[in-house]
Amino acid sequence: MIIAPSILSADFGRLRDEIQAVEDAGADWIHVDVMDGHFVPNLTLGPPVIACIRKVTTLPLDVHLMIEKPQSSISQYADAGADWITIHQEADAHLHRAVDHIKKLGIKAGVSINPASPVSLLENILQDLDLVLVMSVNPGFGGQSFLPFCLDKVKQLRNQIDQNSMQTLIEIDGGINSNTLPLAMRSGAEVFVAGSAVFRGTNYKKNIEDLRNSAAQNS
């Protein structure tokens, strides 16, 4: 299992310390939520900040683009140091071209679907993806409640990926905590984004351990 703390829930005034703290606490990836104020009603950060984050961690940067027309800025995120770039199915009418662009830059490519979007929208692109991200909240904010109906989409994807011997990773994002992580894992997810469940209190190591242990205890 891969645990990817979302820095959306970090203290942005101490971002370097927060990233180093979750790295020391056992995070596998750093999940970076990019929001443009259009695709989602919130605005966060962009390539200049990601370039700064790149300098303070050796962990893979998992960049989740919640932005409209992502293709026009993909190369900026690649230059900034993203290892994984995930765009939204709902945000680009030319998904195949955008995914191809990411891969040609030597970056791992992901596509995300919002809670209201069915898995069938990915039917003709799944084989090209390194990662598929199932949103289990409506994107835009941390700290929202997990939407259980999204688990069925994880199961559908798990079946399609396994039946066709694909290597595509399934990531889940939104409302992941020690109660919901085991459900997502049993449905077939492998990468777990967690914002508020990691960046709460002061003991991030225990928070991450609790997530890992929840999977072991409930499997």
- Which residue, 33 or 130, is less far from ligand DX5 as judged by CB? 33
- Which residue, 148 or 162, is less far from ligand DX5 as judged by CB? 148
**Between residue 5 and residue 44, which ones bind ligand DX5 under the rule CB under 6 A?**
6, 8-9, 31, 33
Structure tokens at 188: 């077939």
Active site residue 33: yes
Interaction mask 172-191, Zn ion, x per CB under 5 A? -x------------------
| Distance linking the first and last C-alpha atoms of the chain | 13
Among 171, 195, 204, 207, binds ligand DX5 (CB under 6 A): 195
Number of H helices, E strands in the chain: 7, 8
- Which residue, 33 or 90, is less far from ligand DX5 as judged by CB? 33
Among 21, 157, 194, 211, binds ligand DX5 (CB under 6 A): 194
The secondary structure element, H or E, covering residue 109 is strand 108-113
Q: CA 10, CA 29: separation in Å to the nearest integer?
A: 15
| Contact flag: residue 153 with Zn ion (CB under 5 A) | no
| Contact flag: residue 118 with ligand DX5 (CB under 6 A) | no
Pairing between strand 61-66 and 131-135? unpaired
Q: CA 219, CA 200: separation in Å to the nearest integer?
A: 25
Task: Say if residues 109 and 133 touch (Cβ distance below 8 Å).
Answer: no
Binding site for ligand DX5 (CB under 6 A): 6, 8-9, 31, 33, 64, 137, 139-140, 142-144, 173-176, 193-197
